[in-house]
Structure formats: C-alpha cells, structure tokens
Amino acid sequence: MKMINRFWKFMLLAIIIYTIIQLLITTEVFNLFYTNTLITIAINIILAVSLHLVIGITGQFSIGHAGFLAVGAYISAIVTMKLALPFPLALFAAGVIAAVAGLIVGIPTLRLRGDYLAIATLGFAEIIRIIFLNIDYVGGAAGMVVSRTTNWTISYICLLITLIVIINFTNSRHGRACVAIRENEIAADAMGINTTYYKVVAFVIGSFFAGIAGGLYAHNFYIIQPASFGFLKSFDILIFVVLGGLGSLSGAVLSAILLTIVSTFLQDYAETRMIIYSLILILVMLYRPQGLMGTREITDFFTSRKKNALKGGENL
C-alpha cells in the first residue's frame, strides 16, 4: 500500500511541475529560448537515466550510448519524414529499433568486463555512425531534414514514462539482480542470477529509452547528421552519470539539469564548455569519485534513511 501511495505522490508532484511550467509557457513568461532549454533538459534526463541503468545500476561501463541515440533519431526521422506516419508512433518505433540494436550490440559485448567493454561499446557506436554515414537513403554525411515536432508536453510525457519504468525496474527483484552484478558478479552468479541475461536486459531497456530520446532529439532540430552522434555525444551523456554519482538516479537527473543549463549558456563558447566538462570529469574522479550524490537518492534526505532503496558503491 505504501508503495502505491508513493506512486501517487510522485504523479501529483509531476502534474504540479508540468502545470506550472505549462502556465509559464502559455503566459509567455518563458520565451522560446527557455522552452527549448526545457526540452533539451528533458531529453538529457532521459539519456542520463537510461545510461544510469546500465552503468550506475548494473555496473556495465558503456561509453557508446550515442549510438543508440543515433538509431532512435534516424528511425524516427524515417517514420515521420519518409513514411509520413504520426510522431508518437515514430517515437515508439525509435525506442523499439534502438532496443533491438541494444540487443545485437549487448549479447556479444556484455561478456567483456571493465575497460574492454567500454572500448567495445565505443567501437559499436562508431560502427553505427559509419553505417548511417554510408546510407544514401538517410542523406549520408549531409544528413536528413526533419520537421520540428518535439514540444514540451511530449518531451515531459516521455520523461515521466522513462523515470517510472526505470525506477520500478530498479526497485524490484530484477533491479536487485542488476545491482548484485555490479557489486560482485561472481557472487551474483553463485546466487542463481543469470548475469548475462540481466546485463542484456538492462542494456536493452537503456537502449530503448536512448532511442526515444533520439526521436525527440531529431525532431527538436531541423536536421540530423551522423557527425552529431560521435564519441563526444557519448561523452556528454557519460558525464551526467559520473558527475551525479554512479548508482544514484536523482544524481543523474540533477547533473543532467545542471550541465544542460551550463552548456546552454556556453553555447557560443564550445571550447570553454569542453574545457569545463573535461575538468569536471577529472576533478570528480580525483577528489570525489562517488560523484555529487554517491549512491544516495534525493529522497534519502527526506525519509529518515530507512527504506531499503537500492544503493551501491562506485566499484564497477
């Protein structure tokens, strides 16, 4: 019962936030620039949380998340622009195909550990990018023109769905199995957990939502190009998870919000932005490897640190 109660509290809060922001938009207190920033924040939170499931919860160090973002972006663009089907359907298709890509990438690579896995996912993301680069149907290097359909409401709905699914998954026996893999893979195996299965499941769910984010991303600009989905994009997503604290969902959300705002202000100073990002990464690793939040959740500060929320360390 308590669980159900928490859910409605969460929904209530979500609706309040939505109403306030929607009011600000309709009364034009928030101009186009702010609205755009809000959409970007929503997309980045979806990306951060989906990667958090893979890295923070399951402990599988993937640095190729932009690959699935690319799949989602291109698939959704094909569905709306080439097949002229509705946008929500395009988003769903983007998620499904990205999940399939996650399955194809995950099954062979997730047997690898640590830095080998990192490099393999990086490699796959590059291969995905190069594939799009070579397909004339989607415009090759010149890219593909996409009409701007993404708005605040649909981004917010996608964000909520992502959060609910990933929180529910994490707080169940399945999420615990994933955390067990992060904490000690050999012991997890010895406790009867099919480690490969759960690694792949986490990876596929993560890819699904990266795909949805890709759909939103593609329809938030007027053009998508393979060059936007390179290693630097994966790095942008990685930094949300690392700065927030490996294992903390609210940490990933907070740092996604924070860094999106920072980079919006530094839009015209790309080098400065990259210098700040890379310094953050180095300094966090050197002086606070557990990130802003460690493995705590923001709710821990309100509840008297009881509830056995799934927590875990930074040992990957």
Partner 1 sequence: MSTNPLLHIQNVGIRFGGLRAVANFTLKLNQGELIGLIGPNGAGKTTVFNLLTGVYAPTEGEIFFNGERINGLPPYKVTRKGISRTFQNIRLFNELSVLDNVKIAYHSLAKHSIFSSIFRFPKHFSGEKEMEEKSIEFLKIFHLDHVKEEKAKNLPYGQQRRLEIARALAAGPKLLLLDEPAAGMNPQETKELMELISFIRNEFNLTILLIEHDMKLVMGVCEKISVLDHGQLIAHGTPEEIRKHPKVIEAYLGEEVGEEHA
Partner 2 sequence: MEWIQQFFNGISLGSIYALIALGYTMVYGIIKLINFAHGDVFMIGAFTGFFAISVLNLSFLPALLLAMIVCAILGVTIERIAYKRLRNSTRIAALITAIGVSLLIEYIFIYFRGAQPEAYPEVLAKETYNIFGAKISSQSVLILCVTVILMILLQFIVHRSKIGKAMRAVAYDQDAAKLMGINVDNTISITFAIGSALAGAAGVIFGIYYTKIDPLMGIIPGLKAFIAAVLGGIGIIPGAMVGGFLLGIVETVVSASGFSLWRDAAAFIILILILIFRPSGIFGKNAKEKV
Interaction site with partner 2 (CB under 8 A): 61, 63, 108-109, 111-112, 114-116, 118-120, 122-124, 126-127, 130-131, 133-134, 186, 231, 235, 238, 242, 271-272, 274-275, 277-282, 285-286, 289, 314-316
Per-residue exposure over 196-216, b if at least 16 CB sit within 10 Å of its own CB, e if not: eebbbbbbbbbbbbbbbbbbb
CB of 210 to partner 2, least distance (A): 19
311 touches which of partner 1, partner 2, none (CB within 5 to 8 A by kind)?
Answer: partner 1
Structure tokens at 181: 């893999």
Q: Which is nearer to partner 2, 99 or 238 (CB)?
A: 238
In the chain, % helix, strand, coil (3-state, to 5) comes to: 75, 0, 25
Structure tokens at 30: 């928030």
CB of 167 to partner 1, least distance (A): 10
Helical (H) or strand (E) element with 193: none
Q: Which is nearer to partner 1, 234 or 295 (CB)?
A: 295
Q: Which is nearer to partner 2, 87 or 229 (CB)?
A: 229
Phi, psi of 311 (to 5 degrees): -125, 165
Contact 212, 150 (CB under 8 A): no
The correct pick among 82, 113, 288, 311 for binding partner 1 (CB under 8 A) is: 311
The correct pick among 48, 49, 310, 316 for binding partner 1 (CB under 8 A) is: 310
CB of 315 to partner 2, least distance (A): 6
Q: What is the DSSP string of 21-72?
A: HHHHHHTTSS-HHHHHHHHHHHHHHHHHHHHHIIIIIT------HHHHHHHH
Asked if 312 is part of the footprint of partner 1 (rule: CB under 8 A), the reply reads yes
CB of 270 to partner 2, least distance (A): 8
